[in-house]
């Protein structure tokens, strides 16, 4: 996979915390930051999805179970 470099300035305490977390675990800081960015983007997408379904009508669980034939 091709990669590009991005630059960001962070608080020195944050950088130290990242280093302190990654170093003893053998995690590359680059990998840690990349995964954190991916996770955050996924969270933001999930939030947008939730906003879209927030006002959809709901159905009682008993109706859904009956429809699925699981209403013992």
pLDDT by position in tens, the chain (length 72)? 799 999 999 999 999 999 999 999 999 999 999 999 999 999 999 888 888 888 888 899 999 999 999 987
CB 15 within 8 Å of CB 4? no
CB 16 within 8 Å of CB 29? no
Tokens 């699981």: give the residue. 70
pLDDT at residue 42, rounded to an integer: 94
pLDDT at residue 11, rounded to an integer: 97
Tokens 């305490």: give the residue. 13
**Total count of residues recorded for the chain:** 72
pLDDT at residue 48, rounded to an integer: 86
pLDDT at residue 38, rounded to an integer: 96
State the DSSP code for 56.
S
Tokens 């009508």: give the residue. 57
pLDDT at residue 50, rounded to an integer: 84
């Amino acid at each position: 996979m091709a990669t590009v470099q991005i630059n960001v300035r962070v608080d020195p305490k944050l950088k130290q915390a990242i280093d302190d977390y990654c170093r003893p675990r053998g995690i590359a800081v680059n990998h840690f930051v990349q995964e954190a960015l991916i996770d955050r983007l996924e969270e933001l997408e999930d939030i947008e999805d939730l906003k879209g379904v927030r006002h959809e009508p709901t159905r009682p669980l008993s109706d859904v179970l009956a429809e699925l034939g699981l209403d013992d």
